[in-house]
C-alpha cells in the first residue's frame, strides 16, 4: 500500500521511519546538523528516539537569513539553493570535526534548507535541499513540491526524506518514503584520497606544476571573464605563466564541500594551470610558493593588512615579515569597493606591506564583474 503525504497520514510516515532512526542511533557515526526553513521535525524525531546522544553532537537552526549568512561567512544569493545547502553541510561537518577531536568514529555534517508553502509572495517554487558531507563523500538531494501544497504535508515529507538520506549514507536504509506529488533529484560526489587529505589538513597541496612563479588565489565561484583578464594582464606584465590557486579552507567561510570542490575544479580546468591547497592565509601560501608573485585585488590586500585577521597586531607584522623573507610579492588589481573603483594608490597600507606591492592601474585593467553578481543573476 502506497503512503500518501497528506495530513491524515503523517502517523504512517512516522511509523515507517522509527526503525530507521533506531538503526541510525546504533551506528558508530556521529555528526552535526544545520537546518533552516524546514526539516526541523526530522531533527526532533531523531532526538526523540533513545540513543540520540550517540548520533547527534549538536545542531544549529539559523532561521533568519541574516543569521544564516553570518554563519556561512557572507551574503547569500538564495537561502534555499543547492549552493547554500552544500555550504551548510560543509559548515556542519567542520563543527562535527571540531567537537569530536580525538574520536575515530565516522563523522557527518547534515544540512537542510527549505522554502515551504507560505502566504507571502516568494521567488521560485516550493522546494528543499538536503546535503550530507562525510570524510569520503558528499550527497545532495533536491526536493520539489510540485503537487503537494500544504506546508504541514511538505514538512512531513521533508522529515522522512532527511532521515532516509542520513540512513543511506551508512547503508542503513529500510524502505522508501512515498514520492507522490514531489520530484526528487540526487547527486553524489565521491572524494579522492587527495581531496580527503586536503580537507583533513594532512596534505598541503595537490595538482602541483613543477615551477610556480605567479599565483592567482581565489574562490572562483564561478570563474569568469574578469579572472581570465587578470591572468592575461599579469602574464604580460610578469613574463611567466599564471597558476590559479584554490584553497579548500578559508579564513572567513567554512571549508569547501566536495560538491563545491568538484565544480570549482571543473571550471579551473577550462582556463589553464591550477593548484588545490589547504592554505587559507598568505603566510601559508608563502610557505608553499616561495619567490612567487601573488595576484590579488585591493580588497584582499586590505584584509592582509587588517589586524582583525590575526591574533594581535604583532602577529600581523610577523606574518608580513615572513612573507617578505619568503621573497614573495603582490601584484594588486583594482576593484569596486562601496560603489567606487579603487586601485593600490587609493589605499592606506602599512609601509611594511606596501613595499611588497606593485600596482595595476585602472588604464591597464578594469573589470567590474564579480562572482557574487553572477551567482545573484543565476
1, burial (CB in 10 Å: exposed 0-12, middle 13-18, buried 19+): exposed
Confirm whether 81 is domain-assigned.
yes
* CATH (domain of 243): 3.40.50.620
Q: Domain check: are 171 and 275 in the same one?
A: no
Instruction: For 335, list phi and psi in degrees, rounded to 5.
Output: -150, 160
Query: Does one domain contain both 222 and 291?
Result: yes
Judge whether 31 and 55 are in contact, CB under 8 Å. yes
Interior/surface letters 190-205, b for 16+ CB within 10 angstroms, e for the rest? ebeeebbebbeeebeb
User: Is there a single domain that holds both residue 217 and residue 344?
Assistant: yes
Same-domain status, 209 and 314: yes
Name the 3-class secondary structure at 124: coil
**CATH code of the domain in which 128 resides:** 3.90.950.20
Helices and strands (DSSP H and E) totals, the chain: 14, 15
And the C-alpha cell for 348?
592606506
Give the single-character DSSP code of 219.
-
Examine residue 18 and state whether it is found in any structural domain, yes or no. yes
Residues 287 and 224 in one domain: yes
Number of domains in the chain: 2
Contact yes or no for 195/90 (Cβ under 8 A) = no
Which range marks the domain in which residue 18 is found? 7-190
* Same structural domain, 37 and 149: yes
Which residue is associated with the grid cell 558528499?
138
Last residue of a domain, one of 190, 216, 231: 190
**In the chain, which residue ranges form alpha helices assigned H by DSSP?**
10-26, 40-48, 52-55, 65-72, 82-99, 151-169, 193-200, 225-238, 258-268, 282-288, 298-304, 313-325, 351-354, 371-377
Domain stops at, among 138, 163, 190: 190
Please tell me the predicted confidence (pLDDT) of residue 181. Answer: 83
Residues 257, 181, single domain; the answer is no
Distance CA 163, CA 306 (A): 44
Q: Which helix (H) or strand (E) holds 108?
A: strand 107-115
371 is a domain residue: yes
293 and 274: one domain? yes
Count of other CB atoms within 10 angstroms of residue 236: 9
* Per-residue model confidence as pLDDT tens for the chain (378 residues): 333 333 333 333 555 578 899 999 999 999 999 999 999 999 999 999 999 999 999 999 998 989 999 999 888 889 999 999 999 999 999 999 999 988 899 999 999 999 999 887 767 899 999 999 999 999 999 999 998 889 999 999 999 999 999 999 988 866 666 677 899 999 999 999 999 999 998 999 986 666 899 999 999 988 999 999 999 999 999 999 999 999 999 988 889 999 999 999 999 999 989 999 999 999 999 999 999 999 999 999 999 999 999 999 999 999 999 999 999 999 999 999 888 999 999 999 999 999 999 999 999 999 876 655 544 555
Q: φ and ψ at 214, to 5 degrees?
A: -135, 125
Partner residues linked to 344 by β-bridges: none
In angstroms, the CA 226 to CA 295 distance is 13
226 and 361 both lie in a single domain: yes
The verdict on residue 1 lying in a domain is no
pLDDT given at position 8: 34
Rounded Cα gap, residues 271 and 243, in angstroms:
10
CB 301 within 8 A of CB 353: yes
360/212 same-domain check:
yes
CA 62 to chain centre: 16
| Domain end position, chosen among 135, 157, 190 | 190
Cis, peptide link before residue 256, omega less than 30° from 0: no
Domain co-membership, 152 together with 215: no
Residue 182 and residue 207 share a domain: no
Amino acid at each position: 500500500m502506497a503512503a500518501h503525504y497528506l495530513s491524515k497520514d503523517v502517523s504512517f510516515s512516522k511509523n515507517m521511519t522509527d526503525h530507521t532512526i533506531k538503526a541510525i542511533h546504533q551506528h558508530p557515526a556521529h555528526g552535526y546538523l544545520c537546518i533552516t526553513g524546514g526539516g526541523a521535525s526530522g531533527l526532533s524525531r531523531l532526538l526523540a528516539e533513545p540513543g540520540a546522544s550517540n548520533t547527534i553532537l549538536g545542531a544549529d537552526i539559523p532561521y533568519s537569513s541574516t543569521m544564516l549568512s553570518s554563519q556561512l561567512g557572507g551574503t547569500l544569493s538564495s537561502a534555499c539553493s543547492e549552493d547554500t545547502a552544500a555550504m551548510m553541510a560543509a559548515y556542519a561537518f567542520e563543527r562535527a570535526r571540531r567537537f569530536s577531536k580525538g574520536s575515530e568514529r565516522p563523522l557527518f555534517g547534515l544540512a537542510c534548507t527549505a522554502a515551504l508553502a507560505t502566504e507571502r509572495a516568494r521567488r521560485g517554487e516550493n522546494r528543499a535541499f538536503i546535503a550530507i558531507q562525510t570524510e569520503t563523500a558528499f550527497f545532495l538531494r533536491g526536493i520539489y513540491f510540485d503537487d503537494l501544497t500544504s506546508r504541514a504535508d511538505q514538512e512531513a515529507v521533508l522529515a522522512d526524506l532527511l532521515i532516509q538520506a542520513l540512513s543511506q549514507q551508512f547503508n542503513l536504509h529500510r524502505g522508501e518514503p512515498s514520492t507522490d506529488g514531489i520530484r526528487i533529484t540526487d547527486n553524489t560526489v565521491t572524494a579522492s584520497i587527495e581531496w580527503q587529505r586536503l580537507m583533513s589538513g594532512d596534505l598541503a597541496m595537490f595538482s602541483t606544476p613543477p615551477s610556480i612563479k605567479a599565483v592567482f588565489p581565489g574562490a572562483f565561484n564561478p570563474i569568469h571573464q574578469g579572472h581570465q583578464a587578470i591572468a592575461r594582464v599579469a602574464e604580460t606584465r610578469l613574463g611567466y605563466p599564471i597558476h590559479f590557486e584554490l584553497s579548500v579552507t578559508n579564513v572567513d567561510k567554512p571549508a569547501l564541500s566536495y560538491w563545491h570542490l568538484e565544480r570549482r575544479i571543473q571550471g579551473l580546468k577550462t582556463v589553464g594551470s591550477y593548484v588545490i591547497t589547504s592554505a587559507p592565509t598568505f603566510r601559508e601560501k608563502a610557505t608553499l610558493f616561495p619567490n612567487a608573485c601573488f595576484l590579488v585585488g585591493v580588497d584582499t590586500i586590505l584584509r592582509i593588512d587588517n589586524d582583525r585577521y590575526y591574533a594581535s597586531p604583532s602577529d600581523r607584522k610577523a606574518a608580513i615579515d615572513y612573507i617578505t623573507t619568503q621573497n614573495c610579492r603582490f601584484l594588486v588589481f583594482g576593484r569596486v569597493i562601496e560603489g567606487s573603483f579603487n586601485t593600490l594608490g587609493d589605499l592606506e597600507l602599512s609601509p611594511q606591506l606596501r613595499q611588497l606591492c606593485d600596482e595595476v592601474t585602472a588604464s591597464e585593467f578594469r573589470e567590474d564583474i564579480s562572482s557574487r553578481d553572477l551567482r545573484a543573476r543565476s
